[in-house]
C-alpha cells in the first residue's frame, strides 16, 4: 500500500539525490529495496531485535522532504521485516540512523545501541549522475548511443547487420542479434612504435571492404570473411565521405594541412578536423586549425573567406532538410578533461550562426566524422568523465518546424 | 518563440566566445611548461625522506610510474599493469605488465618490478611468474592491493650506479629527468618512446623555493604555467580574474605528540593523556578553519576528511572548554603540568598562525603551549631528534581510496604497524571507522583542520588536472603558443 502510494512523488523527490534516479523510471521499488537491504544489515548486526526505536539525523545535503521520504522507506522496511517500531523505553534496541555523504555518493550510518553495547553499520550508495540535458532548440541535434566500452574508440561503422569498432590496437566486429550487438571477431592492428598520445583513427567501409587509417599505418580488409591486413603507410585519410582527403602527421594528432584527392596539391594550415560541402555552385571547406582558429574557404583554398575564434577542435558536416541543408556540428572550446558539448552551426555568407542549442556531453568529444550515404549522419566518439567509458554515438539533425 | 531564439543565441554566443581568441579541446604538441614550486625538493626518489613529500611525488610522477593509478573519479585504473587478479583470500595478487621500456631503452620485466617493489615494501614477497607477470604475496589479506600500488612509494624504477658511484633512478614515465639541481630546479623532457604516446609538452621545468612576490605584485603568472598558493594568497589572485583551483580539503593539519606512555623516546616524559585530551577539547577548530583558512578548510575531528569517508562527523571535535578545564584539573591532582612545546614548520606561515592560535585556545583551559618554528618537522627521521613535546604536522592525502589513505596517513603519522595490517584487511567502511577511532584513542594525534591544495593556473595551460586529493595529473597537459 505504502509502496504504491509513494511511487509518483517518491521518485520525483529522490530523483536528484539518490541512485534510484534512473531506476525510478523502470522500477519504483528500488529505493524501498535499498532501504530493505540497509535494514536487513542493521537487523543482522543487531541480533534481530523484535522491537526497535529509530531516530534520524541528516548530515548530508539531502533536503528535508527527501529525507522524510527515505525515513518512511526505512520505517516500512522495518515493518516488512516484522520488527515493531516502538518508543525508546520499550525498545530492545535503539537505532540511530544518519544520512551522510562522501564525494562519491550517499553514506547511511546506523548506530545500534543495545544496553551497553553498540554496533555500527555503514552503507555507501553511489550517487547517480544527473540526466543529460538538451536545451530546447530551434533545430534539434538527436544523439543516439551505439556502443560503449572501457577502452578507446577511434571510429566506428554500423549498418543493419554489422558494427565495426576501430580501436588503437584492434578492429572489433560485432553482429546484430535480436537487437543486440554480439562480438563476432577481433582483428589485430600490429604497430612497431607506440601510437601518439591522443591517437586518432579513421574507418571507412564500402561494399564490405574495410579501410582503416591510423597514424603512420593503413589497414585493408573485408567484413566477410573477416580479414585485416595492416602496413606502415603515409596514405592520406578520407575525412568527409571521400570529398576531402588529407595527410595525417604520423607522430602527432593533427592533419599536416597537405590535401589530396580532389584538392590534391592544395595546402592549408595544419588542422585537427575538416569538412566540405556544396550549396549550388559554391563549394565550402572548413578546417579547425591547430592554432585554435576555424577557417572557412569558399570555392578555392588559397585564402580563407572567414576565420572563427573560440571553436572546439572537432567538427563535421551533416546534411538535412533544414535551412540551407548543411550544418556544421562542432565541439565546444573546452579542455579534454572537462565535459563537452556539440552545437550545430550554419554558415551564411561569411557568418557562422548557431542554429541549435548545445547538446551537453559528460566528457570530451574525441571524434566526429560525417557518415551515411547522403552525409545525413555524423558518427561521434566521446569519453565520459563520469564513467570513464568511451561511447560511440550517431548525431542527426531534425528540423523544428 | 522570439524569446527562445534570443536565449538560444545567448547560450550559443557564450559557447562560441567563451575561450576568447583560443578555442581548445584537442591538445597541441610542443612548448615548455614552467612551474613555480613553493618548497625545495631534495630528491625525487619516492622512498627518500623529504620535508615536502607531496611535492616530491608530483615531480616523481612525471618520470616514474606505478602499476595502477587512481583516476579523477576515484577508480583504480591500469598503468604499468594491464590487468590483475587476486586469490579468494586476497593475499596473493598477480599483475600482468604491459609492454613498456625504461628510459635507458631496456624492457620492463616482472623481475624489474619485483626488485623495485621489494624496496618499497619488504614485508611482501615478490616473484616473477614469467617475463610479464609478477605475483605479490602478503602475509595477511590486502583488500585494496590495486589501490595501494597506486601510491607513489610503489613506483617502479631501476636503480643504477653512474661512473661516479652515484645512484641513478631510471623510470618508464612520459617524461625523462634531464636536469636536476636539488632544491633549486628540475627539468623533465618528453619521452618520445613512451608506451602511452609522447607527451604533448616538450618539457616541464620546475623552479623551487619561489617567493611569488613578483607574481603576486603583478597579479600575473608571466611565463609560468602554474604555481602553488597558500590559502591566504587566494584572495589577491582571485581579485584579478586569475584561474585558481582548489582541491577538496585534503591535507590534515594535526598535533602529533612525540612521546607517549609507551615511551618511544627515552629520557623524554610524555604529556599526560588527560592534558592531551584537554588540549584537543580546547582548540577552536571552527575559528581556525573560518578565520585562518578563510573558510577554505574544514575543522578536523578524524584523520580522514568527511568528504572522503562520510563518517568523520562521528568523531566529534567540538570545543568544550569546561570539560577541558576539568581534565586539566584532574591531571594536575596527579602530575606536574609543564608547558607543552609545539614545533611547527617554520617555512609555512599558516602553520605558525595555527600554532599560535592553538596556544591562545589552550590558555583558556589553563594549558600553556609554547609554539616555535622548526626546519624539518615533516620528515620522520628528523622528527626523532626534535626536542619538542609535539609537532604541528601537515600531512597530504595520499589517495582517494579511504583504506589506502588511512594506511598512508597512519604511516606518515608514525602510528603502529598493527593498525596498517588491520586497515589492509578491512572489508567494510565500519571496520575502517573502528580502526580510525582506535588510532585517535589516547589523544596522541589531535586533528585540527583539513586544508585544500591551491593552484594558480595560467590560462595558457590546458588539461592541468588536480585530483580530489590535490595530486597533479599532467598526462594530458599542453600549452598554447606551441607547435
pLDDT at B216 over 90: no
Partners of residue B307 in chain A, C-beta under 8 Å: 102-103
B222 touches chain A (CB under 8 A): no
Which of A316-320, A324-328, B23-27, B334-338 has the weakest average pLDDT?
B23-27
Strand-pair category, B32-36 with B226-229 = parallel
B8, closest residue in chain A (CA to CA): A357
Segment B221-232 mean pLDDT: 89
Higher-pLDDT residue of A291 and B364 is: B364
Distance from A309 to chain B by nearest Cα, in Å? 5
Segment A228-242 mean pLDDT: 91
pLDDT at res. A309: 84
Partners of residue B194 in chain A, C-beta under 8 Å: 194, 197
Distance from A123 to chain B by nearest Cα, in Å? 7
pLDDT at B53 over 50: yes
- Identify the H or E element spanning A30: helix A30-45
Name the residue facing B197 among A98, A197, A270 (closest C-beta). Answer: A197
pLDDT grade, residue B15 (50/70/90)?
very low
A286 touches chain B (CB under 8 A): no
- The 10s digit of each residue's pLDDT in A138-189 is 689 999 999 999 999 999 999 999 999 999 999 999 999 988 999 999 999 9
pLDDT at A124 over 50: yes
The burial class, CB within 10 Å (0-12 / 13-18 / 19+), for A300 is exposed
Interface of A with B in 196-255 (CB under 8 A): 196-199, 251-254
- Report d(CA B390, CA B270) in Å as an integer: 10
pLDDT at A22 over 90: no
B16 touches chain A (CB under 8 A): yes
B76, closest residue in chain A (CA to CA): A388
B430 touches chain A (CB under 8 A): yes
- The 10s digit of each residue's pLDDT in B440-470 is 999 999 999 999 999 999 988 999 998 888 8
pLDDT at res. A23: 36
Interface of A with B in 67-86 (CB under 8 A): none
Residue A313 to residue B310, Cβ atoms within 8 A: no
Task: Among B2, B7, B15, pick the best mutation site for testing chain A contact (most A Cβ within 10 A).
Answer: B15
Percent helix, percent strand, percent coil in chain B, to nearest 5: 30, 25, 45
Distance from B389 to chain A by nearest Cα, in Å? 35
pLDDT at B375 over 90: no
A265 touches chain B (CB under 8 A): no
The burial class, CB within 10 Å (0-12 / 13-18 / 19+), for B236 is middle
Residue A135 to residue B8, Cβ atoms within 8 A: yes
Residue B26 to residue A311, Cβ atoms within 8 A: no
Task: Among A60, A333, A385, pick the best mutation site for testing chain B contact (most B Cβ within 10 A).
Answer: A333
% of chain A with per-residue pLDDT over 90: 64
Residue A198 to residue B27, Cβ atoms within 8 A: yes
Residue B11 to residue A358, Cβ atoms within 8 A: yes
B78 touches chain A (CB under 8 A): no
Nearest CA-CA partner of A203 in A367, A41, A395, A401: A367
Query: What is the grid cell recorded at A301?
Result: 583554398
pLDDT at res. B17: 40
Higher-pLDDT residue of A268 and B317 is: A268
Residue B11 to residue A357, Cβ atoms within 8 A: yes
Segment B41-46 mean pLDDT: 94
DSSP states of A331-364: E-S--TTS-EEEEEEEEETTEEEE-S--EEESEE
Give the CA dihedral B395, B398, B400, B404, nearest 10 degrees: -110
Higher-pLDDT residue of A104 and B205 is: B205
A38 touches chain B (CB under 8 A): no
Residue A227 burial (CB count, 10 A): 13
Residue B25 to residue A193, Cβ atoms within 8 A: no
pLDDT grade, residue A21 (50/70/90)?
very low
The burial class, CB within 10 Å (0-12 / 13-18 / 19+), for A369 is buried
Interface of B with A in 193-212 (CB under 8 A): 193-200
Residue A292 to residue B24, Cβ atoms within 8 A: yes
Residue A198 to residue B24, Cβ atoms within 8 A: no
pLDDT grade, residue B20 (50/70/90)?
very low
Partners of residue A197 in chain B, C-beta under 8 Å: 27, 194, 196-200, 476
**3-state SS class at B312:** helix
Residue A124 to residue B72, Cβ atoms within 8 A: no
B22 touches chain A (CB under 8 A): yes
B465, closest residue in chain A (CA to CA): A337
Partners of residue A385 in chain B, C-beta under 8 Å: 72-73
**3-state SS class at B6:** helix
**pTM, rounded to two decimals:** 0.82
- Report d(CA A283, CA A276) in Å as an integer: 7
Distance from A4 to chain B by nearest Cα, in Å? 32
Interface of B with A in 122-141 (CB under 8 A): none
A102 touches chain B (CB under 8 A): yes
pLDDT grade, residue A128 (50/70/90)?
low
Report CA A297 to chain centroid distance, whole Å: 32
pLDDT at res. B322: 97
For helices A2-14 and A30-45, the axis angle rounded to 10 degrees is: 100
Answer positive or negative: Cα dihedral of B292, B295, B299, B302.
negative
pLDDT grade, residue B137 (50/70/90)?
very high
Nearest CA-CA partner of B174 in B140, B146, B203: B203
pLDDT at A200 over 70: yes
Which DSSP category does A263 fall into?
A: G
Residue A198 to residue B313, Cβ atoms within 8 A: no
Whole-Å CA distances, B425 to A90, B145, B418, B422, B432: 38, 10, 11, 5, 10
pLDDT at A131 over 60: no
pLDDT at A134 over 60: no
Partners of residue B12 in chain A, C-beta under 8 Å: 343, 354, 357-358
Nearest CA-CA partner of B467 in B156, B309, B250: B250
pLDDT at res. B379: 82
pLDDT at res. B150: 97
Mean pLDDT score of chain B = 90
The burial class, CB within 10 Å (0-12 / 13-18 / 19+), for A298 is middle
- Report d(CA B161, CA B164) in Å as an integer: 8
Task: Among B18, B310, B452, pick the best mutation site for testing chain A contact (most A Cβ within 10 A).
Answer: B310
| First-last CA distance in chain A | 45
Distance from B4 to chain A by nearest Cα, in Å? 8
Mean pLDDT score of chain A = 87
pLDDT at res. B265: 64
Name the residue facing A358 among B15, B27, B77 (closest C-beta). Answer: B15
- Report d(CA B359, CA B344) in Å as an integer: 12
Residue B24 to residue A340, Cβ atoms within 8 A: no
- The 10s digit of each residue's pLDDT in B263-279 is 666 667 899 999 999 99
- The 10s digit of each residue's pLDDT in B385-442 is 888 999 999 999 999 999 999 999 998 888 866 678 889 899 999 999 999 999 999 9
Task: Among A97, A99, A103, A348, pick the best mutation site for testing chain B contact (most B Cβ within 10 A).
Answer: A103
- The 10s digit of each residue's pLDDT in A243-264 is 899 999 999 999 999 999 989 9
Nearest CA-CA partner of A212 in A139, A142, A157: A157
pLDDT at res. B264: 62
Q: What is the CA radius of gyration of chain B?
A: 24
Segment B245-269 mean pLDDT: 83
Nearest CA-CA partner of A290 in B76, B195, B478, B419: B478
Name the residue facing B11 among A120, A135, A293 (closest C-beta). Answer: A135
Interface of A with B in 115-174 (CB under 8 A): 120-124, 135-138
Residue A138 to residue B4, Cβ atoms within 8 A: yes
Using an 8 Å Cβ cutoff, are A165 and A148 in contact? no
Amino acid at each position: 500500500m505504502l509502496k504504491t502510494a509513494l511511487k509518483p512523488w517518491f521518485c520525483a523527490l529522490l530523483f536528484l539525490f539518490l541512485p534510484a534516479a534512473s531506476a525510478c523510471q523502470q522500477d519504483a521499488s528500488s529505493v524501498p529495496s535499498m532501504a530493505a537491504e540497509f535494514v536487513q544489515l542493521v537487523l543482522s548486526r543487531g541480533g534481530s531485535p523484535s522491537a526497535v526505536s529509530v531516530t534520524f539525523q541528516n548530515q548530508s545535503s539531502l533536503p528535508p522532504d527527501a529525507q522524510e521520504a527515505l525515513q518512511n522507506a526505512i520505517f516500512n522496511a522495518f515493518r516488512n521485516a516484522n520488527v515493531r517500531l516502538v518508543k525508546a523505553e520499550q525498545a530492545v534496541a535503539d537505532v540511530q540512523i544518519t544520512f551522510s555523504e562522501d564525494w562519491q555518493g550517499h553514506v547511511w550510518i546506523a548506530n545500534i545501541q543495545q544496553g551497553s553495547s553498540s554496533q555500527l553499520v555503514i552503507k555507501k550508495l553511489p550517487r547517480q549522475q544527473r540526466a543529460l540535458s538538451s536545451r530546447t532548440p530551434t533545430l534539434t541535434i538527436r544523439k543516439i548511443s551505439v556502443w560503449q566500452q572501457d577502452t578507446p574508440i577511434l571510429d566506428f561503422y554500423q549498418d543493419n547487420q554489422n558494427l565495426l569498432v576501430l580501436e588503437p590496437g584492434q578492429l572489433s566486429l560485432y553482429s546484430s542479434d535480436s537487437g543486440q550487438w554480439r562480438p563476432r571477431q577481433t582483428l589485430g592492428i600490429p604497430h612497431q612504435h607506440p601510437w601518439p598520445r591522443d591517437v586518432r583513427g579513421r574507418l571507412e567501409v564500402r561494399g564490405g571492404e574495410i579501410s582503416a587509417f591510423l597514424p603512420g599505418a593503413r589497414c585493408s580488409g573485408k567484413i566477410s570473411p573477416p580479414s585485416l591486413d595492416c602496413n606502415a603507410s603515409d596514405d592520406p585519410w578520407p575525412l568527409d565521405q571521400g570529398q576531402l582527403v588529407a595527410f595525417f602527421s604520423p607522430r602527432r594528432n593533427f592533419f599536416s594541412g597537405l590535401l589530396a584527392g580532389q584538392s590534391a596539391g592544395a595546402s592549408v594550415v595544419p588542422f585537427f578536423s575538416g569538412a566540405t560541402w556544396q550549396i549550388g555552385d559554391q563549394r565550402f571547406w572548413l578546417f579547425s586549425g591547430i592554432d585554435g582558429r576555424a577557417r572557412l574557404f569558399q570555392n578555392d583554398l588559397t585564402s580563407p573567406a572567414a576565420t572563427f575564434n573560440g571553436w572546439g577542435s572537432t567538427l563535421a558536416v551533416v546534411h538535412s532538410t533544414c535551412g540551407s541543408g548543411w550544418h556544421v556540428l562542432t565541439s565546444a572550446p573546452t579542455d579534454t578533461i572537462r565535459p563537452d558539448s556539440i552545437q550545430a552551426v550554419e554558415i551564411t555568407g561569411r557568418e557562422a550562426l548557431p542554429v541549435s542549442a548545445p547538446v551537453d556531453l559528460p566528457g570530451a568529444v574525441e571524434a566526429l566524422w560525417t557518415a551515411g550515404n547522403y552525409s545525413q549522419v555524423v558518427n561521434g566518439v566521446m569519453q565520459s568523465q563520469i564513467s570513464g567509458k568511451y561511447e560511440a554515438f550517431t548525431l542527426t539533425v531534425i528540423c523544428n518546424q | 518563440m522570439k524569446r527562445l531564439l534570443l536565449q538560444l543565441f545567448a547560450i550559443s554566443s557564450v559557447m562560441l566566445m567563451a575561450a576568447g581568441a583560443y578555442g581548445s579541446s584537442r591538445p597541441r604538441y610542443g612548448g615548455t611548461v614552467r612551474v613555480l614550486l613553493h618548497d625545495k625538493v631534495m630528491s625525487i626518489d619516492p622512498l627518500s625522506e623529504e620535508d615536502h613529500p607531496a611535492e616530491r611525488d608530483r615531480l616523481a610522477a612525471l618520470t616514474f610510474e606505478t602499476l595502477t593509478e587512481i583516476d579523477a573519479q576515484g577508480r583504480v585504473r591500469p598503468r604499468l599493469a594491464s590487468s590483475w587478479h587476486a586469490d579468494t583470500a586476497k593475499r596473493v595478487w598477480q599483475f600482468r605488465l604491459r609492454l613498456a621500456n625504461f628510459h635507458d631503452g631496456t624492457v620492463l620485466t616482472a623481475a624489474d618490478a619485483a626488485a623495485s617493489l621489494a624496496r618499497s615494501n619488504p614485508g611482501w614477497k615478490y616473484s616473477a611468474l614469467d617475463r610479464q607477470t609478477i605475483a605479490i604475496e602478503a602475509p595477511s589479506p590486502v583488500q585494496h592491493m590495486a589501490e595501494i600500488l597506486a601510491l607513489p612509494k610503489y613506483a617502479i624504477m631501476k636503480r643504477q650506479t653512474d661512473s661516479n658511484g652515484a645512484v641513478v633512478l631510471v623510470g618508464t614515465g612520459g617524461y625523462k629527468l634531464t636536469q636536476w639541481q636539488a632544491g633549486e630546479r628540475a627539468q623533465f623532457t618528453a619521452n618520445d618512446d613512451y608506451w602511452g604516446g609522447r607527451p604533448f609538452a616538450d618539457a616541464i621545468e620546475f623552479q623551487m623555493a619561489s617567493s611569488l612576490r613578483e607574481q603576486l605584485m603583478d597579479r600575473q603568472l608571466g611565463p609560468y604555467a602554474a604555481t602553488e598558493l597558500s590559502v591566504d594568497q587566494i584572495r589577491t589572485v582571485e581579485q584579478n580574474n586569475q584561474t585558481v583551483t582548489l582541491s577538496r580539503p585534503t591535507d590534515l593539519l594535526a598535533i602529533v605528540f612525540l612521546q607517549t606512555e609507551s615511551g618511544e623516546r627515552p629520557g623524554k616524559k610524555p604529556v599526560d593523556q588527560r592534558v592531551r585530551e584537554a588540549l584537543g577539547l580546547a582548540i577552536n577548530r571552527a575559528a581556525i578553519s573560518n578565520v585562518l583558512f578563510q573558510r577554505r578548510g574544514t575543522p578536523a575531528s578524524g584523520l580522514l576528511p568527511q568528504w572522503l569517508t562520510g563518517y568523520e562527523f562521528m568523531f566529534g571535535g567540538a570545543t568544550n572548554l569546561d570539560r577541558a578545564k576539568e581534565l586539566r584539573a584532574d591531571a594536575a591532582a596527579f602530575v606536574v603540568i609543564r608547558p607543552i612545546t609545539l614545533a611547527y614548520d617554520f617555512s609555512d606561515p599558516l602553520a605558525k598562525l595555527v600554532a599560535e592560535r592553538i596556544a591562545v585556545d589552550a590558555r583558556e583551559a589553563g594549558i600553556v603551549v609554547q609554539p616555535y618554528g622548526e626546519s624539518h618537522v615533516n620528515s620522520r627521521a628528523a622528527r626523532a631528534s626534535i626536542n619538542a613535546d609535539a609537532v604541528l604536522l601537515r600531512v597530504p592525502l595520499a589517495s582517494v581510496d579511504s583504506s589506502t589513505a588511512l594506511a598512508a596517513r597512519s604511516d606518515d603519522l608514525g602510528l603502529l604497524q598493527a593498525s596498517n595490517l588491520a586497515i589492509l584487511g578491512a572489508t567494510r567502511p565500519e571496520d575502517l571507522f573502528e580502526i580510525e577511532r582506535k588510532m585517535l584513542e589516547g589523544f596522541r594525534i589531535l586533528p585540527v583542520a583539513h586544508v585544500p591544495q591551491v593552484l594558480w593556473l595560467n590560462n595558457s595551460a590546458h588539461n592541468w588536472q588536480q585530483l580530489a586529493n590535490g595530486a597533479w595529473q599532467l598526462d594530458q597537459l599542453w600549452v598554447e603558443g606551441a607547435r
